[in-house]
Structures are given as C-alpha cells and as structure tokens.
Amino acid sequence: MTASVARYVRSSDFLTEAENHFQFLREADFLGPEKGEYWLSYSSDMLGVEVHYDDREGRVITIVRSSVGDRNPRAGIQCLYVSARLGPAQHIKEIARSAKVLGNVLESHAAALRKVLPVVEGADGPDLLLDCHGR
C-alpha cells in the first residue's frame, strides 16, 4: 500500500488552520480537539463538532452531531444554517484547493457555526438536527 500524496492541502496545514478558526469552541466549554489526518473533532455535553477536509475534492465539511432520544443525528453546517434561516448556503464556502484560500473557507464554516450553535442548543435544536440528519 502506498501513502497518498496530498493533492491540494497538506494535513498539517489543514489542522493548524482549522484549530485556529475553531478555537472559539474551547472558549464555549467544548473539549478537544481530537485530531486525525484530515479531521478534527470537539465535544461538549450536548453536541459534537467535526471538521473534515476531503483532499480528493478539496472540500471542507463541518458536521454537528448530537443525541436526540434514541437517535444520533449528524447534520451538515449548510443545512443547519439554511434551515435555521440564518442565511443562504452560499455564505458557507466549501472548496479549498490551495492553502491560500483554506483560511477563508474555514472562517466561513466557523462563522456559520457561531450562529448555528445557539439555535441547535435551544428548544428547536433537536428538530433542526433531525431534519438535517444526513444532509
């Protein structure tokens, strides 16, 4: 088995940038980050947040996860943002095919998450997470 070569962004660059942009989660009492090659994850009593980089497509993906009853929804930030009526999906950039644009893409995800977290942690959060599960 041969090691894969990064096509767009090195894992170390992604992890450094992502940790910088999502540092606010630590200040909001989330634990972490746990880190892998192209992902990092934070968790609190109620929620988990995963930030992934798909190096094959050059795409950043942010997932919010939780437990709702006997279900464990995992919802994409774009769906949560749009469904919570916080703005259009275009506010959240996805494609980062160079280290030069990676910071801007991650900041768009972090900014959306800052707006989404109060909604997800509120009374409508469980329904929103279930509606966006898998999207």
| CA atoms of 134 and 101, how far apart (whole Å) | 27
pLDDT, tens digit (0-9, with 9 covering 90-100), for 72-127:
999 999 999 999 999 999 999 999 999 999 999 999 999 999 999 999 999 999 99
pTM here is 0.92
Residues 120/109, Cβ–Cβ less than 8 Å:
no
List Cβ<8 Å contacts ≥24 apart for 118-122: 119/80, 119/84, 119/86, 120/47, 120/64, 120/66, 120/80, 120/84, 121/46, 121/47
Which pLDDT value is given to residue 13? 95
Residues 76/62, Cβ–Cβ less than 8 Å:
yes
Which run of H or of E encompasses 41? strand 39-43
Which run of H or of E encompasses 35? strand 31-36
Which SS3 state, helix, strand or coil, does residue 3 take? Answer: coil
Q: Which two tokens stand for residue 82?
A: 């749009």
Closest CA to 22 of 35, 4, 7: 35
**Whether residue 135 has pLDDT greater than 80:** no
pLDDT, tens digit (0-9, with 9 covering 90-100), for 1-54:
555 566 899 999 999 999 999 999 999 999 999 999 999 999 999 999 999 999
